[in-house]
Amino acid sequence: MTTGVKGMVLAGFVVAALSACVPDPNVVQAGMNAPPTPAVFTDAYAAGQDSGIAIPAIPLDKLPAQFQRQTVAYQTEEVPGTIIINPSERLLYLVTGKNKAIRYGIAVGKAGFEWAGVANVAERKLWPTWTPPKEMIARKPELARWEKGQPGGPTNPLGARALYLNSNGRDYGYRIHGTPDWQSIGHNASSGCIRMINQDVIDLFQRVPENAKVIVLNRDGSVPTAMVLPPPVVPRRVAPPVAPVTPVVAPVLPNNGLPAFVPALLPPVPPSLAG
């Protein structure tokens, strides 16, 4: 084989080898080179015990598949350990690697309580005490019984775990926490906090590093450049009760035994004065 022919053959091998590294557009179009299929965690929502507290199982037939914990392909430049929350989708992503994440279903703020911004995990608590803010007590006076705090437990609104968020060193009162009300997952149901199924928040709690970055996206899915907070809630004004009016009765004075006064009759007018 001549040198020229050998060179042409070698070049052909090189081109073939390089072309093997480039996806065929037709194959991609057919879905054969598509992102990996999301993988749901097995037995993620089984019943269990945590710190001596029973956690009931979640019926999967009542929890939509998109809100079940699963590994997914997720395009992002954020480092592993970052939490990205998409309120419009009611989904939370924990970045685990290059364009990879664990996805959890969540409940987010209802109308008037939505927010967006960048924060960090400033504190973490197991079965935290819940203290309703005074603004919430003003809206729901029945919560006044917990103004000193509701101890952690199966009916506590913060659930099994809570991640306390700060933004620029300030606590705006937002948390990522569990909930006994797992039916609210996938809905706009909270007063601004991010709710998770108890089994999911326990899993997230174990994976998130200290001081982790948290990004809550804008409604359109874009990354916020500043904190976007809801308008302050004005508590309902209740008119003060009107005191009943008691009629005043003049007292009857005693006459000390004297006869009652009777005005004397006037004498007739003299004829000389009569017109």
Active site residue 187: no
**Structure tokens belonging to residue 176:** 């990522």
- C-alpha 172/C-alpha 166 separation (Å) is 7
Per the residue annotation, which of 121, 189, 193, 201 is the catalytic one?
A: 193
Alpha-carbon span 149 to 130, nearest angstrom: 5
Number of Cβ atoms within 10 Å of the Cβ of 23: 11
Amino acid of residue 104: Y
CA distances from 11 to 19, 22, 95, 235 (A): 12, 17, 42, 78
Exactly one of 177, 202, 208, 212 is catalytic; name it.
177
Mark whether 193 is an active-site residue: yes
Measured CA distances, 34 to 28, 65, 104, 137, 230 (Å): 6, 20, 22, 50, 39
Paired residues of 177 in beta bridges: 162, 195
Cα–Cα distances in angstroms (integers) from residue 121 to residues 74, 149, 157, in the given order = 22, 22, 19
The residues that are catalytic are: 177, 193
